Structure formats: C-alpha cells, structure tokens
C-alpha cells in the first residue's frame, strides 16, 4: 500500500495566525524527505484551509504526485484543468461540515460535469477517483460512470467501538472494487490503531491519511521543540 498524506491541516494551523507559518513548502520538503507517495490537498469551495495560491505553489514545487480533492463544480473543473494534478478525488462538500462527512452519492452528481471532467482527465492522463461509501451499489456505479479509481470511505473505523460487520464490509468492498478492475484507495479517520482493520491491503493501492498524521506529529516532536527553546533561553 502506498501512503498519501493530506496536508490541509497544516494550512488550517497557518491560517489561524494569518501569516505563513507553518509553511506548506517546508511541509512539502519533509514529505519529500519522508518519501510520501501522494500529497493530498482539498481545495474547498470556501477556501477554509488550502488556498488557490497554495495549490499552484505545491504543484510547481512538488516531486510528489498531487491528489486534488474537490467537489464536482464548474469552478473546480476549471482549476483542475489549469493545475493538472496527477490525481483527482471527487468528494461531497457541505459548507458547515467539519470534514468530509460521507461518501459521494453517485446517483446525485451532475453527469454532464462528470463527462466534462473525464474528457479533460483522459486527455491529460489524470486518474479520477470517487470517494464513496463501501457499498456494491456505489462501486458498480463508479465503474459504469467511467471512474478508474474509487476511494473507500473508512471513517466508520474511527470509533471507540468498532463493529465487526463494519470491518468485514469495508474489506469485502475493497475486494469487490478490485474485482471490478478499479484501482482501490482507502481513507478517512485512519490511525495507528485502526489501520490493522484494513485486512485486504493487497488490493489497496493507496491509503490516504490526514488528521492523525498531522496531530500525532505534534506529540512526536513537541519535546524536541521545547528542549531546543529551553537551550535558547538558558543564561
Ligand atoms: N480521504 C478523503 C476523501 C478525505 O476527504 C479525507 C479528509 O480530508 C481523508 C481521506 C483523510 O481523512 P483524515 O483527515 O481523517 O485522515
């Protein structure tokens, strides 16, 4: 399984101060160093974390393939056409949600817009994925609609008590999507504890993780940062 890291949360922290720290290009360097396989950025309609300029700069400077998460809107299609990310992941988007809440309902998307996006992506060799709930219906529809990739929503694994049927369903659907000759990614809510429940990983191309990696990084390096500062203020 390859690892895709979502750096939206670094932009959220940066935006809290309105300046340029933590800097996304510095984060990009770390990701290069750590040999991250894909870099995910979600350009939301309200630009609450990643801004248009971030996307431009990341694309310009990244040796890591960019996975652009986006809603299926005319504006985003235009931006994707201009930026040429290596991957696009279509996600549902609601203004007031804290994070992406559920999979995309492929019955309810605009098919003319999807057609437009797929035409661009075929011409430019961009892999297009749909972030969907783990159901046969959505996987089958993704295949019919011409997606080459699906990202199976693993959010239900991010619970205190994880039901066995949820684990089984996610793994069955990973295998089912693979059997339909789709590239299978997984993502959302994954962490050190629940990643073990992705049992069918031989069928998974990439796992996408954001919140946990960025928040865990605080604790991995907080002591070092405090010690460095203590050294600077010692008489
Ligand atoms: N995959 C998709 C499609 C997402 O929208 C997100 C959240 O931005 C993730 C993966 C990563 O989820 P998390 O931040 O919970 O690791």
Decide: 208 in ligand 1 pocket, CB within 6 A.
yes
Task: Please report the pLDDT score of residue 97 as a whole number.
Answer: 72
Q: Is 189 left (phi over 0), alpha (psi -120 to 50) or beta?
A: left
In this prediction, residues 50-67 reach a mean pLDDT of: 98
Is pLDDT at 230 greater than 90 in this prediction?
A: yes
For residue 91, which atom of ligand 1 is closest to its CA? 3
CB atoms within 10 A of CB 192: 9
Does residue 37 surpass a pLDDT of 70?
yes
In tens, the pLDDT along 8-33 reads: 999 999 999 999 999 999 999 999 99
The structural domains of the chain, ordered by start, are 2-234 (3.20.20.70)
- Catalytic residue flag (residue 42): yes
User: What's the whole-number mean pLDDT along residues 163-174?
Assistant: 97
Candidate list 9, 49, 153, 188, residue with the active-site label: 188
pLDDT-based confidence at 235, cuts 50/70/90? confident
Q: How far is CA 76 from CA 88, 114, 227, in A?
A: 10, 12, 44
Phi, psi (degrees; rounded to nearest 5) at 233: -100, 0
What's the rounded Cα separation, in Å, for the pair 193 and 204? Answer: 18
pLDDT confidence bin for 103, thresholds 50/70/90: very high
Alpha-carbon distance of 172 to 26, in angstroms, equals: 39
**Is residue 95 very low, low, confident or very high in pLDDT (cuts 50, 70, 90)?**
low
The CA 12 to ligand 1 mean position distance, Å, reads: 14
């Amino acid at each position: 399984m390859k690892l895709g890291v979502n750096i939206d949360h670094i932009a959220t922290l940066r935006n809290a101060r309105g300046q340029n720290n933590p800097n996304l290009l510095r984060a990009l360097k770390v990701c290069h160093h750590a040999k991250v396989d894909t870099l995910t950025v979600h350009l939301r309609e309200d630009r609450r974390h990643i801004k248009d300029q971030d996307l431009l700069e990341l694309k310009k400077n990244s040796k890591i393939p960019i996975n652009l998460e986006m809603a299926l809107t005319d504006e985003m299609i235009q931006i994707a056409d201009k930026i040429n990310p290596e991957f696009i992941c279509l996600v549902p988007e609601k203004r007031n949600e804290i994070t992406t809440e559920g999979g995309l309902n492929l019955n309810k998307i605009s098919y003319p817009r999807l057609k437009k996006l797929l035409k661009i992506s075929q011409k430019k060799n961009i892999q297009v994925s749909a972030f969907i709930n783990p159901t046969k219906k959505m996987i089958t529809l993704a295949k019919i609609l011409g997606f080459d990739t699906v990202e199976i929503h693993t959010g239900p694994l991010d619970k205190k008590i994880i039901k066995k049927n949820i684990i089984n369903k996610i793994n069955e659907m990973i295998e089912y999507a693979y059997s339909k000759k789709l590239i299978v990614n997984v993502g959302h809510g994954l962490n050190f504890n629940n990643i073990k429940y992705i049992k069918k990983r031989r069928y998974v191309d990439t796992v996408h993780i954001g919140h946990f990696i960025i928040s865990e990084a605080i604790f991995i390096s907080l002591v070092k940062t405090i010690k460095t500062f203590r050294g600077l203020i010692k008489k």
